[in-house]
Amino acid sequence: MDPGHENQGSSSCPVYVHNPHLKTMKEDVLYHFNLGTSTHNLPALFGDVKFVCVGGSPWRMKSFIEYIAGELGLEDPKSEYPNICAGTDRYAMYKVGPVLSVSHGMGIPSISIMLHELLKLLHHAHCTDVTIIRIGTSGGIGLEPGTIVITKQSVDATFLPKFEQVILGKNVVRSTDLDTELAEQLLQCSNRLNQFKSVIANTMCTMDFYEGQARLDGAFCSYTQEDKQDYLAKAYASGVRNIEMESSVFASMCKLSGLKAAVVCVTLLDRQKGDQLSGSHQVLHDLQQRPQILVGHFIKTQSLEIQKAVGSGNE
C-alpha cells in the first residue's frame, strides 16, 4: 500500500463540535439553513465534503460552484446547481462533488451564525479531513489593487491577533490562528498560476465598514484625513496589508473545531489612496474572480493528489 494512502486513512480527522448538550437533543434544526437532522439525511447529503468555501455574497458563491465544477470536470450537463438552502433567504449553499460553497453575509455576527450551523452540519454528516477557505474582498494597505492577501494572522482594530466575544455577559478571548502550512500551499499555488500577485500578511478584521475602517465617506466622520492616514500607517507598520469584516471569528471558530482554515481576499483598492469603490463594475467583478481562481486551482491540485493516492493504494 502507498504510504500516502495509509496516511490518508489513519490521519482521518473529524470535525469537532464542543457541546455536550447536542447529544441530548432528539433533533437539531439548522434554522438559518432550513435543514435539520430529522428532516434531512445529512451524512448522505454531505458526508463526502472535503472542501468548504465561504464568502459574503450568495451570487459569488453560486458562481464559485459553477467554476469549480468546470475545474474538477464535474459539470452538470444542465448546468443547474440548486441552492440547498432554497427554503430560506439567510444563506445560500451549493455543492458539487467534494466541494461545498456557502454564503455568509457581511460581518462577524452573520458569519458566526452560519459557521455554528455549518460546523454542526459537518459533524452530523460525519465529515473528516475538511479544509475550509474564506474567499472574499477587502481594502488593501500599500498594495496594488487586485493583489491577493492570504491571511497569516487575523488581528483586531488595535492590531492584536485575538477575537473577543461576550458569553453570558462576560468577555471571552479566543485565538485567531490560521493554518500556516495551508497558507504557504496557497501562496505556492498562486506563484505557479502566475496570473496575479499574492502575499501572506496580516488581515485586520473590523466591526464596521466606515468609521471602523477609518473611511472618510460614511454618514458620520469625526476625524481628519491625517488621522485616517496615521491609523492606516500604524496598521501597515504592524504587518496589516488588508482590512475586512469576518476573518477573526472565522479563524477562531475553525481553530476550535479542528478545521484546516485559510482566508484568501483580493484587495479592491488601496485605502491609503481612497475610500470609495468607484471602479467600473466590470473591473471590480474581474478582481473578485481572483480568489476563486486561486482556490479553484488549489482544490483541483489537492483532489488530483487524493485520487492519485487512492489509485496507487488500490493497485
Indicate the annotated binding residues: 90, 134-137, 213, 215
DSSP-assigned states of every residue in 257-282: HT-EEEEEEEEEEETTT-S---S-HH
Looking at the Cβ atoms of 29 and 310, the one nearer to a second copy is 29
Chosen residue from 110, 131, 248, 267 binding a second copy by CB under 8 A = 110
Q: Is 166 a binder of a second copy (CB under 8 A)?
A: yes
Output b/e per residue, 275-290; b: 16+ Cβ within 10 A.
beeeeeeeebeebbbb
Residue with cell 445560500: 92
Residue with cell 490562528: 177
Q: What is the spatial distance between Cα 78 and Cα 182, in angstroms, rounded to a whole number? A: 34
Q: Is 278 a binder of a second copy (CB under 8 A)?
A: yes
Coil, strand or helix: which one is 8?
Answer: helix
Chosen residue from 6, 9, 13, 25 binding a second copy by CB under 8 A = 25
**CA 205, 206, 207, 208: dihedral to nearest 10 degrees?**
-130
Neighbours of 214 (CB within 10 A): 23
Chosen residue from 194, 276, 280, 314 binding a second copy by CB under 8 A = 276
Chosen residue from 10, 44, 78, 217 binding a second copy by CB under 8 A = 217
Q: Is 287 a binder of a second copy (CB under 8 A)?
A: no
Chosen residue from 65, 68, 96, 115 binding a second copy by CB under 8 A = 115
Chosen residue from 256, 258, 272, 289 binding a second copy by CB under 8 A = 256
168's CB contacts (< 8 A; 6+ apart) are none
Q: What is the spatial distance between Cα 269 and Cα 275, in angstroms, rounded to a whole number? A: 8
Report the nearest approach of a second copy to the CB of residue 166 (Å): 4
Question: Residue 221 carries which DSSP code?
Answer: -
Report the nearest approach of a second copy to the CB of residue 103 (Å): 9
Q: Is 286 a binder of a second copy (CB under 8 A)?
A: no
Write out the binding residues for a second copy, residues 35-64 only, by CB under 8 A.
Answer: 36, 56-59
Looking at the Cβ atoms of 252 and 303, the one nearer to a second copy is 252
Q: Is 208 a binder of a second copy (CB under 8 A)?
A: yes
Coil, strand or helix: which one is 105?
Answer: coil
Report the nearest approach of a second copy to the CB of residue 227 (Å): 6
Write out the binding residues for a second copy, residues 133-162 only, by CB under 8 A.
Answer: 156-159
Q: Is 226 a binder of a second copy (CB under 8 A)?
A: no
Phi, then psi, of 122 in degrees rounded to 5: -65, -35
Write out the binding residues for a second copy, residues 66-105 only, by CB under 8 A.
Answer: 87, 89-90, 105
Looking at the Cβ atoms of 133 and 254, the one nearer to a second copy is 254
Q: What is the spatial distance between Cα 224 and Cα 227, in angstroms, rounded to a whole number? A: 5
Q: What is the spatial distance between Cα 212 and Cα 180, in angstroms, rounded to a whole number? A: 28
Q: Is 233 a binder of a second copy (CB under 8 A)?
A: no
Looking at the Cβ atoms of 4 and 279, the one nearer to a second copy is 279
